[in-house]
Structure 1
Amino acid sequence: MSELDLENLISEIKTYQPLADTSVVEKAYHFAKSAHAGQKRLSGEPYFIHPLATARNLVELKLDPTTIAAGFLHDVVEDTYTTIEQIQKEFGKEIALLVEGVTNVGKIKLRGNREEIFLENLRKLFLVMAKDLRVVFIKLSDRLHNVETLKYVPEQKRKRIAQETLEIYAPLAERLGMGDLKGKLEDLSFPFVYPDEYKWVLEVSEKRYEETDRQLKRARGMLINELREANISAEVHGRKKHLYSLYRKLLLKDRQIDLVYDLVALRVLVNTVAECYEVLGAIHKKWKPLKGLIKDYISQPKPNGYQSLHTTVFGPEGKIFEVQIRTYEMHNVAEHGAAAHWDYSQRKSVVKNDAALDGDRGVNGASFEWVKKLASWQRMTRDSEEFKNLLKNDFFAGRIYVFSPKGDVYDLPKGATSLDFAFCVHSGLGSSCVGAKVNGRLVSLNTPLENADLVEIIKSKNQSCPKRDWLEIVVTGEAKRKIRSSLKRFENK
C-alpha cells in the first residue's frame, strides 16, 4: 500500500473524468489509512487493504470522486473511534451522509431468530436506496471485496456472508442492471453455500468448455472476416456463462448441459444502433438462426435499462451458440447498470428528508422506478409478515418482462397473472378489470404470464371495485395491498 496505489487510482479516474477535482479522494485516502492504522484483516493483512479495494471497485464502475472518497471512509465510523460529526467536519455533509448510509446498510444480516431486526434493516436499505443510490454502489463494492476474501473467515460466518450475498446483494445488483458485479458476487459465494453443487457444475462445465473453446475461436475468426468484408468496424469477444447462472439454468434444463445454448457466446461491440442490426443481418447470412431465439432488447429494453440483440445460431460444424450484439454504450450499461446511468448533476444532490422520496433526486428514470416503489412499500406496510411476503414475492423472486399494447415494458415476478399486471399499471385498471388478452388470445385472469407476453386488459365502466376472491389469484404483494385497500374503502362507504 504505497502512494503508487493512490497515483494509479487518480490516473484511472482521470481517464473517464479528465477535469475532476480528485483532491477529496487523496484526502480520504490519507484519512482512512491513518484511522485504520494498526488494524488487521482476518488474512493478517493491514485493514486498509479493504477500503482501498472498495475504492478501486468504485473506480471500475466509473463513479465520481465524492463517491470514491466515501468508499475509502465507509468503515471508519463502524470500526474506529471516528464519528460521523468528524467526517462531516472534515469532508462535508454529502460524504458524511453517504458514510452514515453505508454504516446503516452494513447492519443487515440474514434472518434467523431475530427476523424482526432483519426486516427492519431491509426497510432502512430501501429508504437509503431511494435517497441516494451511491450508498448501494459503495455497499456492493464493499461486499465484493469481502466475498473475494471469504477463505480467511471462520466457516460458520463464511457461509452466512455468502448466503447473504446470494439472497440479498446479488439480486440487488441484478435489479440495478449491474450484470458484471452480480455475476462476480454469485460466483464467489456459490462454493460456500452449495459446495457439492459447485463442484458438479465446475466439472461438467470445464469438460464442455474444452470441447467448445476451439469451435468458438473458429466462429469468432469467421465472424470477424464476415464483418470486415461488410465494412463494419466491430470488436468480437468470446464470453463464458457465470457458474452460478449456469447452475440455475441447469436446474431448469433437468441438469442437461446440452440444452444450455448460451454456455459460451460471442459478443459483438459496435459504435451505432444501425450497425447492431447490420451485424445481425451479416450473422444470419452466415449462419442459420434458431426459430424463436432472436431477441431484440434494443427496441424493447429490459426495465433495468439493458439493451442488446441476442440471436442463437447453428454455427461451424452445426454447433449451437449465442451471439450478443450491442453498442459500446449499451455494453457499459449492461455491465454497470445504475452506476452507468448516474447523472453527474444527480451526484451533487443530497436528499434531506423522507418526503423527498416522492421526487426524482435519489432515483432517476423509469428504469429504477421500483426503487422508489420499495421505499413506498416499507412506509405503508408496517406489518412484518406482510412486508416479508412483499419482499419474497415482488423483489427477491425471479423476474419476467411483459409488454402493454403501447409497448411499455413491465417488470413482474415469475408466476404473476394478468391481474397482477393490471394493478401494476394502475389501481383503477386493476379494479375495473373484467378480462385479459395475452398475445391476442383471451385467457383466464389466473393464467401465469410468461416472458415477453403482450398483455391487454379488458375493463368495464360498470366495475370499480375489485373482487375479494382476486386475493387468491394475484401473487404480487403490491396487487394484494391495492385490492385490500380498495375493498376497505368500499366497505367504509
Structure 2
Amino acid sequence: MAENFKQILKQLIINNPDVDKELIEKAYKFARKKLKNRKHFLTKKTFVSQALSIIKILLPLGIDNATAAAVLLYYTVIYTKTSLEEIRNNFGNEVAKLLAKLKQFKAYEANVASPSAEEKLILADCKDVRLLLIKLAKGLSYLKCMKGPKERRVLFAKRALEIRVPIIYKLGLHFMKAEYEDCIFKELDPKTYKSIKSSVAKLPIVKKLPVLKKMLEKRLKEVGISAKVYSRKKHIYSIFKKMQRKNIGINEVNDIAGLRVVTDTVEHCYEILGIVHSMWKPVLSEFEDYIASPKANSYQSIHTTLMTEEGMFEVQIRTKDMHLVAEYGVAAHWRYKGIKEHKDYEEILQRLNRTITWNGLLQPKHIAESIKDVDEPIFVFTPKRDVVVLPNGATVLDFAYAIHTDLGNKCKGAYVNSKMVGIDYKLKNAETVEIITDKHQKPRRSWLDIVVTPKAKQKIRSMLAIKKRKITSKKKQIIEIKDQKNIKIAKCCMPLPGDEVIAYKSKKRKLIIHKRNCTNLQKLPKENLVEIDWKGGRGKTFLTEIKIEGDITVLPEVLKIITVNGNKLKATHTRNFEDRYVSIFTVAAKDKNVIENTIAEIRKVPGVVSVERA
C-alpha cells in the first residue's frame, strides 16, 4: 500500500476517529485496480494520486467515511465502465448517491458556456455540503499541480478566479481561500508571484519567527495559561493586494510575519495581550480589538503589531471558537458534534441539508456544538450576486424587507433560481432571489405570520398601524346585523364571524363586510365605512381559505381534520414547489373559532410545515 495513502489514512483517523479504516482501504484498492496507472490530462498525476490530493485538502475538516470513499472512487466512476450499482453493492448507498451527483455535475459541466452558469451549477447540489466541498477541493487540487500547455493552465486559473473564488468568499469557506488565490496568482502573474515570495523568504523578521514562537510558548507556560501558538506568514496574493491598495513596498507591510495564539477564554485573550506587550514594544496605531467590536462577518480576534530589531510582526489572539470563525468564515457557526451519538443519522443529515450547513457534517467533533436547537443564518443572493444574510426559516418577504422597506411593502412574490414562488416561500442557502412587486400591493396582518425577522415584523406593524388610523369610520353608531340578506361577504379577505370587521355601504345599500385589516379598504370612500356588530347566523357558514405547506402525504389527514371539525370542503388547489407542496383549501366554516381549532389540529400533522388562513 502506497506510503502517501497510509499517511493520509492515519490523518483521517486522527481528525475523525469514526472513520471506517477497512472501508477506506477497500475503496483505495478498488480504485487502483480499476484505474491502474492512468493519468489525469491536466495534472499528469495518476487518478489515484489526484484523488488523494483532494482528500488531503479536506483533511482538516474531519471528513466522514462516505466523503473519503466517494473521492477515492470518483475517477473510477468517471473514466472507467464501473457502474453506480457496482459502487452501491461494494460501498453502500450513501457513497453511490454522492458519486451519482458528482457524475451528473461532470456531464453538465461540459455544456456550460458562461461563468455565471457554471457558478450556479456548482451551487446546484449544495443541499449536501459534501458535494460542494468536493467540487471546490477538486478545483484546488488541479490548481496546485497543473501541467501541460500554458494556455490551458491560464484558462483554468481564470475560470477559477471568476467562479470558484467568489463562491468561497460568499459562502465563508475561507479555509480554501488563501491557497486558491495564491495558486491562481502564481499562474496568471508568475513573475510577480515569484518576486514577492523570494522577498518574503529573505525578510529578517520571517527568519526570526520560529524563535519568537518559542519565546512566547515558554512565557505562557511559565504563567500557566493554556494556549497553542502558531507561526504564520501572510499569503502571497494578500501581500500583493495590500501593496497595491496602500501603494507601499514589501518592507512596509507590517503583518507579513506573525504569531497566532488560540486559547480557552476571552479573559485569557486579554491576559496574553498584556504578556506580549510586556515582551515586545507594541505599535499602538496598529492595534485592533475585534473581540470587543467584531467585524460584520462575525470575525473576532485581537490584532496587535509588535516591534523587534528584525522588524515588525503581528500577533493575533483569539479563543478556539473565534479561531473556527476566522478559519472557516461565517460557515463555522454551523457546528455540530456527536453525530454518532444520534440514532437516526439520516434525520440529522436532512436537518443539515435544510439549513445547508456548509461544513457542519465535516467538522471534527471536538470543535463542535450540539445539533439540537441550533437556528443559524442562511446566505442568499440578489440578482447582482450580493449576499444577504437571513435567519434560518426566513421567507421571500423577509428578503424583500431586508433589501428595502418599499420593496417589502410592494412584494407580491419572487423568482427564486428563476422559478416563481409566493411571498411565504422559505429560502434556502445559495438561492438567488429576485423580488416581484405590485404597486397596488399593501402589507396585511397575515404577513406577520409569514416573516421571521424583527425588521420585517416592525415594518409591517408600522404600516398596519398607519392603515388602522386611516380606517376610522365617520359614523359613530354601530349597526347590528340581523338580516343576513342585506350583507355580502368580501371575497378579497373572506371574513368570518369573530374576526375584527368593518362594513362598506355600497351604492345598492348593501353592507359588504371586510376584515378590518383588509388592504382593499384603502381604495374605498371613508364616509361609506360603518361599524357593525356581526355574529353570523344560526346554521349559516361562510367561505374562507386555509393555506398549507408540506409534503403531498399530508393531504388525506388534513382533509379528514377539515371535515371532522364541521367544515365543508368547497375546493382545493395544490401547487408543487420543488421539494414541497402548497395547498389552498376553500372551506365553509361557522366562525373564526372553528377555523382556528381546525388549523391548530392541522399543525400537529407530521409533514405539515406551515398552515394559516390565506
Q: Deviations over 1:355-377 (max 9, x none)?
A: x999336656676611xx25xx7
Deviation at 1:245, TM superposition (A): 1.4
1:257 to 250, 256, 268: 250
Q: Which residue of 2 aligns with 1:416?
A: none
The answer to whether the aligner puts 1:325 opposite 2:317 as a matched pair is yes
Q: Which residue of 2 aligns with 1:283?
A: 276
Q: Which residue of 1 aligns with 2:86?
A: 86
Amino acid at match of 2:140: L
What is the percentage of aligned positions where both structures have the same residue? 26
The count of corresponding residues between Structure 1 and Structure 2 is 402
1:485 to 421, 437, 444: 437
Deviation at 1:276, TM superposition (A): 2.0
1:141 to 114, 123, 137: 137
Deviation at 1:270, TM superposition (A): 2.4
Separation in structure 2 between the aligned mates of residue 426 and residue 186 of structure 1, nearest angstrom? 31
Q: Measured at CA, do residues 361 and 169 of structure 1 come closer, stay the same or move farther in structure 2, by a change above 3 Å?
A: closer
SS in 2 for 1:57: helix
Deviation at 1:79, TM superposition (A): 1.7
Q: Which residue of 1 aligns with 2:401?
A: 428
Q: Measured at CA, do residues 37 and 479 of structure 1 come closer, stay the same or move farther in structure 2, by a change above 3 Å?
A: closer
Q: Measured at CA, do residues 106 and 329 of structure 1 come closer, stay the same or move farther in structure 2, by a change above 3 Å?
A: farther
Q: Which residue of 2 aligns with 1:25?
A: 24
TM-score normalised by L of structure 2: 0.55
Amino acid at match of 2:305: V
Deviation at 1:81, TM superposition (A): 1.6
2:162 to 161, 167, 178: 167
Q: Measured at CA, do residues 59 and 320 of structure 1 come closer, stay the same or move farther in structure 2, by a change above 3 Å?
A: closer
Q: Which residue of 2 aligns with 1:158?
A: 153
Give the strand-richer structure, 1 or 2. Answer: 2
Q: Measured at CA, do residues 8 and 263 of structure 1 come closer, stay the same or move farther in structure 2, by a change above 3 Å?
A: closer
Q: Measured at CA, do residues 323 and 357 of structure 1 come closer, stay the same or move farther in structure 2, by a change above 3 Å?
A: closer
Q: Measured at CA, do residues 255 and 103 of structure 1 come closer, stay the same or move farther in structure 2, by a change above 3 Å?
A: farther
Deviation at 1:317, TM superposition (A): 4.2
Amino acid at match of 2:38: Q
Q: Is the 8 A contact 1:289 1:311 kept in 2?
A: no
SS in 2 for 1:315: strand
Which one is further off, 64-73 or 29-38? 29-38
Deviation at 1:166, TM superposition (A): 2.6
Q: Which residue of 2 aligns with 1:132?
A: 128
Q: Structure 1 regions of 5+ residues with no counterpart?
A: 378-385, 396-408, 412-422, 435-462, 467-476
Separation in structure 2 between the aligned mates of residue 249 and residue 162 of structure 1, nearest angstrom? 21
Q: Measured at CA, do residues 278 and 60 of structure 1 come closer, stay the same or move farther in structure 2, by a change above 3 Å?
A: same
SS in 2 for 1:66: helix
Task: Tell me the C-alpha RMSD between the 2 structures.
Answer: 4.3
Q: Is the 8 A contact 1:239 1:264 kept in 2?
A: yes
Q: Measured at CA, do residues 108 and 35 of structure 1 come closer, stay the same or move farther in structure 2, by a change above 3 Å?
A: same
The answer to whether the aligner puts 1:310 opposite 2:302 as a matched pair is yes
SS in 2 for 1:170: helix
Alignment of 1:46-445 (within 5 A): 46-106=46-106, 114-115=113-114, 118-129=115-126, 131-150=127-146, 152-206=147-201, 209-213=202-206, 216=209, 219-220=212-213, 222-286=215-279, 287-291=281-285, 293-297=287-291, 300=294, 303=297, 306-307=299-300, 309-317=301-309, 319-328=311-320, 330-331=322-323, 334-335=326-327, 338=331, 341=335, 343=337, 345=339, 348-349=345-346, 359-360=354-355, 369-370=378-379, 373-374=380-381, 386=383, 389-390=384-385, 393-394=386-387, 426-428=399-401, 430-432=403-405
Q: Is the 8 A contact 2:122 2:135 kept in 1?
A: no
Q: Deviations over 1:12-63 (max 9, x none)?
A: 3332333443333223212222221242234655332112222333334321
Deviation at 1:75, TM superposition (A): 2.4
Separation in structure 1 between the aligned mates of residue 241 and residue 99 of structure 2, nearest angstrom? 35
Deviation at 1:132, TM superposition (A): 0.7
Amino acid at match of 1:40: K
Q: Is the 8 A contact 1:144 1:185 kept in 2?
A: yes
Q: Measured at CA, do residues 237 and 13 of structure 1 come closer, stay the same or move farther in structure 2, by a change above 3 Å?
A: closer
Separation in structure 1 between the aligned mates of residue 282 and residue 308 of structure 2, nearest angstrom? 10
Report which structure shows greater RCO (CA 8 Å, sep ≥6): 1
Q: Is the 8 A contact 2:266 2:319 kept in 1?
A: yes
Separation in structure 2 between the aligned mates of residue 323 and residue 75 of structure 1, nearest angstrom? 43
Deviation at 1:324, TM superposition (A): 0.8
Q: Measured at CA, do residues 433 and 260 of structure 1 come closer, stay the same or move farther in structure 2, by a change above 3 Å?
A: farther
Q: Measured at CA, do residues 119 and 349 of structure 1 come closer, stay the same or move farther in structure 2, by a change above 3 Å?
A: farther
Q: Structure 2 regions of 5+ residues with no counterpart?
A: 361-373, 412-429, 443-518, 521-614
Q: Is the 8 A contact 1:261 1:312 kept in 2?
A: no
TM-score normalised by L of structure 1: 0.67
